Amino acid sequence: MAATFDPSSSAARGRRDRPVGTVTRGTTNTNRLRRMDRWIAHTLGPALRSADRPPAAVDLGYGAAPWTAVELAGRLRTVRPDVRTVGIEIEPERVAAALPYAEPPLLTFRRGGFEVPLDDGERPLLIRAANVLRQYEESAVTAVWERLCGRLAPGGLLVEGTCDEIGRRHVWVALGPEGPRTVTFAARLGGLERPSDLAERLPKALIHHNVPGRPVHAFLTDFDRAWSAAAPYGAFGARQRWVAACRALGGTWPLVDARGRWRQGEITVPWSALAP
């Protein structure tokens, strides 16, 4: 007789308890995610301040060292002093290595994955998943997004994207409980040759669509064209050139932000404008 699977068995419980996801390379550096953190603090600030209880924020897949979780906690506390940040990693050894940096209840670490295990089923106001989905197949992204968005508190935000090893170039997607909202491009402007240099950091959902005929390719092509036209502003610095290029780009593309964010080396576009 064939064996049957008993959902109440210890084996079944073990499968349910196992974190969902795969181990990342774990590469991390201090200040790697500062641009993303700065944008999160600005964008999510009103929701953090208005929460009627200390909100929870999750750094999902923080890597082999806890620096990004430690820094996220510090940056969010400048907006809401009692925000509780939880670093979640699938590797037990990484969790153990992070524990000396914990500051309960404001900063804690635990083992987990895309199930985002928090106490008593709490829903976080923020889930940040940086450099996590890059190793997955594109076909897996939508299901992961849906799972993570399903864990958000009302008004919450999922920020998922990719950056280089020292945080000079970032691209991320912001999602609410309803799904993707915006795409943000952010860069250290000194040394940036052209905006399309950011293409190598597109999130998994977009990187394979940076080909002629697709919206993200058209956007980056137009951005490069605006950047070239704004070359005279380079005499006043790369920031002024970026601002001028963003202003010109706004004539043909819908932009979510304005000069104040452009001066930070950012530009944000609705997801609907770049969606494959």
Question: How far from 38 is each of 33, 75, 209, 225, CA to CA, in Å?
Answer: 9, 8, 27, 28
Query: Is the CA virtual torsion 242, 73, 42, 215 positive or negative?
Result: positive
pLDDT at 23: 77
Mean pLDDT, the chain, whole residue set: 92
222's CB contacts (< 8 A; 6+ apart) are 249, 252, 253
> Using 50, 70 and 90 to split pLDDT, how confident is the model at 26?
low
User: pLDDT class for 6, splitting at 50, 70, 90?
Assistant: very low
Q: Collect all residues with Cβ–Cβ distance below 8 Å to 241 and sequence separation of at least 6.
A: 189, 227, 230, 231, 233, 234
* pTM beyond 0.85, yes or no: yes
Q: Can you list the domains of the chain with their CATH numbers?
A: 21-177 (3.40.50.150), 189-276 (no CATH)
- Read off the pLDDT of residues 82-139 as tens digits, 9 standing for 90 and up: 999 999 999 999 999 999 999 999 999 999 999 999 998 899 999 999 999 988 999 9
Is residue 214 pLDDT above 90, yes or no?
yes
CA 183 to chain centre: 10
Q: What is the pLDDT of residue 242?
A: 98
**Those residues with Cβ within 8 angstroms of residue 13's Cβ, 6 or more apart along the chain or in another chain:** none
The two structure tokens encoding residue 17: 């308890």
Percent of the chain with pLDDT over 90: 87
Q: Specify the DSSP element, H or E, that contains 58.
A: strand 56-60
By DSSP bridging, strand 126-130 and strand 157-163 are parallel
Cα(215)–Cα(209) distance, integer angstroms: 8
CB 162 within 8 A of CB 170: yes
**218 to each of 88, 124, 155, 249, how far by Cα in Å?**
36, 35, 31, 12
Q: How confident is the model at residue 247 (pLDDT cuts 50, 70, 90)?
A: very high
Tokens describing residue 255: 């932009």
- Candidates 20, 33, 38; CA nearest to 162 is 33
- Write the DSSP assignment of 193-231 as a string of letters: --GGGGGGG--HHHHTT-STTSHHHHHHHHHHHHHHHTG
pLDDT of 12 > 70? The answer is no
